[in-house]
Amino acid sequence: MYAIETVALNKQFRKIRAVCDLNLKVEEGAVYALMGPNGAGKTTLIKLLMNLMSPSEGRISVLGSDVCRIEGKGLERVGYVSENQRLPEWMTAGMFLAYCRPFYPDWDKGLEERLVKRFELPLKRPLKRLSRGMRMKAALASALAFHPKLVVLDEPLSGLDPLVRDDLMESLREMKGETTVLLSSHDLAEIESFASHVGYMDGGRLLISEPMAEVGARFRSVEVHGDALASPAAPPTEWMHFEASGNTARWVETEFSAEKSAAKARDVFGAVELKATPMTLREIFLAMARKERTEGPREEKQ
């Protein structure tokens, strides 16, 4: 069973299709990083997964149940935090956590206290007087203290200082394996060593959805050197951002294989010396975003 599964999911806002024929599968226990530029459809997708809006077409399953039918005990297993989440600001942080406790039979008071200590939450201070980072910590404490089976986080790190981000990420790391995490964030350096799977959205479509290790293995920044390299009329489809000048050609390869990629380069240029450099998640994101902006949508790889 998948913790999250969507089938042919669509969401239409008048003439704008925010989510397009999206098929997503998030394995139980995974830490799934959802990335994409602003306006890609990530927040709309998350709201659909959390049943905060209804799909135009398609099906959504969360923890094995149709999301539209999740209620009561089903909601007791899901934690959700969004950067735009509104909290009852008239409450103190302590009152807010006390208010949340009765809704979750598995609420762990000891875990709550550890989270409060780690986050240095001032329990007696009204939420409206807390910084954005502190309010986010209060929201995260309320979403983690009951050992949820699924945690969905929509840009929880946005605008937070490095120390606050470290606190949040450390708490999530401690739940790895016990809880499935879906995390949407632009802080790619923070999540690269943390996520087990990665998805890339643009234009409402899920263009990449696979284990992080596979993405890291197949993307390479490639440079070749040879005599008077001529640009091919049509570079191979797995070469992005191709450019050649004099004796040097460069591109981003999306299906890198040491032997096959070297053979392909020789087929195109003849005798060349090839250098392939691994790419960070941020570099992969930027390469994908530039491609979508200059060349338009491509087929999904799932």
The mean pLDDT values, 10 residues at a time, for the chain of 302 residues are 94 91 95 92 94 94 87 80 89 96 94 92 95 88 94 82 79 83 85 89 94 94 85 87 88 94 89 91 91 60 50
Q: Are residues 96 and 243 in the same domain?
A: no
Q: How far apart are CA 284 and CA 280, in angstroms?
A: 6
Q: Are residues 156 and 76 in the same domain?
A: yes
Structural domain includes residue 185: yes
> How would you classify residue 192: left for phi > 0, otherwise alpha for psi between -120 and 50, otherwise beta?
alpha
Per-residue confidence (pLDDT) for residue 296, from 0 to 100 = 55
Give yes or no for a contact between 145 and 81, defined as CB atoms under 8 angstroms apart: no
Q: Are residues 242 and 192 in the same domain?
A: no
Per-residue confidence (pLDDT) for residue 152, from 0 to 100 = 95
Identify the H or E element spanning 216. Answer: helix 212-218
Q: Are residues 204 and 235 in the same domain?
A: no
* Counted domains in the chain: 2
Tell me, yes or no, if the pTM score tops 0.75.
Answer: yes
Q: Are residues 8 and 93 in the same domain?
A: yes
Tokens of 87: 């909290």
Per-residue confidence (pLDDT) for residue 275, from 0 to 100 = 93
Give the distance from CA 254 to its chain's centroid: 19
Per-residue confidence (pLDDT) for residue 171, from 0 to 100 = 80
Closest CA to 200 of 239, 190, 188: 188
Residue 197: give the domain boundaries.
2-209
Q: How far apart are CA 102 and CA 80, in angstroms?
A: 17
DSSP-derived pairing of the beta strands 150-154 and 78-82 = parallel
Q: Are residues 65 and 198 in the same domain?
A: yes
Tell the residue number behind the tokens 């596979």, with chain if given.
214
Give yes or no for a contact between 249 and 223, defined as CB atoms under 8 angstroms apart: yes
Per-residue confidence (pLDDT) for residue 233, from 0 to 100 = 81
Per-residue confidence (pLDDT) for residue 176, from 0 to 100 = 78
Q: Are residues 128 and 248 in the same domain?
A: no
Q: Are residues 204 and 261 in the same domain?
A: no
